[in-house]
Chains A and B, each alone.
Chain A
Amino acid sequence: MKAPRIPMEELMGSGHLACQGCGATQAMRFALKALGPKTALTIPACCWAVIDGSFPHSCIELPIFHTAFETAAVVAAGIKVGLEMRGDSETTVMAWAGDGGTYDIGLQALSGVAERNDDIIYVCYDNEAYMNTGIQRSSSTPVGAWTTTTPVDNYKKEPKKNMIDIMAAHSIPYIATCSVAWPEDVIAKFRKAKEIKGTRYIHIFTPCPTGWKFAPELSIQMARRAVTSHVFPVLEITEHGQKIEVWKDFEPTSVRDYFKPQGRFKHLTDEEIEGLERDVEQKWRRLLAKEKMMASIPGME
Chain B
Amino acid sequence: MVKKIEFESYKEMPIRPMTLGSMMWNLTGSWRNVRPLYDFKTSPCILGCPTNENIQRYIYLVTEGRYEEAWKTIIESNPMPAVTGRVCFHPCMTKCTRKDYDEAVDINAIERSLGDMGLENGGWMEKSKAVKKEKVAVAGSGPAGLSCAFYLARQGYPVTLFERDKALGGVLRWGIPEYRLSNELLDRVIKQILDSGPVEVKAGVSVGTDVSMDQLEKKYDAVFLGLGLMSSRGLGMDGEDEDGIEPGLDFLRKVNSGERVDPGAKVVVVGGGNTAMDVARCALRAGSEVTVAYRRTRNEMPAIAEEIEEAEKEGVAFHFLAAPKELVRRGGKLVRVIFQKMELGEPDDSGRRRPVPVEGETIEMEVDRLFTAIGEQADLEGIESTVETDWDLIKTSDETGATSNPKIFAGGDVVTGAASVVEAIAAGRKAAERIGRMFAGEPEPEVEEPKTVGIEDMNTDYFTRSKRNLVPRISASEAKTGFSEIKTGYTREQLASEAERCFSCGVCNFCDNCWVYCPDVAIARHEDEYEFLYDYCKGCLICVFECPCNAISIREEGK
Contact = CB atoms under 8 A, between A and B. Distances in A.
Interface in A1-16: 1-2, 4-6, 8, 10, 12-16
A231 B402 CA distance: 64
Contact of A12 (B13, B461, B521): B521
Nearest to A18: B519
Contacts, number: 119
A26 interface: yes
A220 B539 contact: no
Contacts of B64: 2
A114 to B, nearest CB: 29
Contact of B517 (A8, A13, A220, A251): A220
B542 interface: yes
B453 to A, nearest CB: 18
A221 interface: yes
Given A14-B23, A15-B536, A224-B461, A217 B544 contact: yes
B242 interface: no
A301 to B, nearest CB: 31
Q: Identify whether the interface residues of B are mostly helix, strand, loop, or mixed.
A: loop
Interface of B: 2, 4-5, 13-14, 17-28, 31, 64, 461, 464, 510-512, 515-517, 519-522, 525, 527-528, 533, 535-536, 538-542, 544-546
A86 interface: no
B519 A21 contact: yes
Given A216-B542, A217-B541, 17 more contacts: A1-B510, A6-B512, A6-B516, A14-B24, A14-B520, A15-B28, A16-B26, A20-B540, A55-B17, A56-B17, A56-B18, A57-B20, A57-B22, A58-B22, A216-B540, A219-B540, A221-B461
A21 B545 CA distance: 11
B541 A58 contact: no
Contacts of B28: 14-16
B23 A56 contact: no
Interface residues of A, number: 40
Nearest to A60: B19
B516 to A, nearest CB: 5
B525 A8 contact: yes
B425 to A, nearest CB: 32
Nearest to B20: A56
A83 interface: no
A23 B64 CA distance: 31
Closest 10 pairs between A and B when the two form their complex, measured CB to CB? A15-B23, A14-B536, A21-B540, A217-B541, A15-B26, A20-B540, A216-B540, A56-B20, A58-B19, A25-B519
6 contacts: A6-B516, A21-B540, A57-B5, A57-B25, A58-B22, A217-B541
A53 B517 CA distance: 20
A191 interface: no
A64 B20 CA distance: 12
A218 interface: yes
B22 A219 contact: no
B23 A13 contact: yes
Contacts of A22: 519, 540
Nearest to A27: B519
Nearest to B28: A15
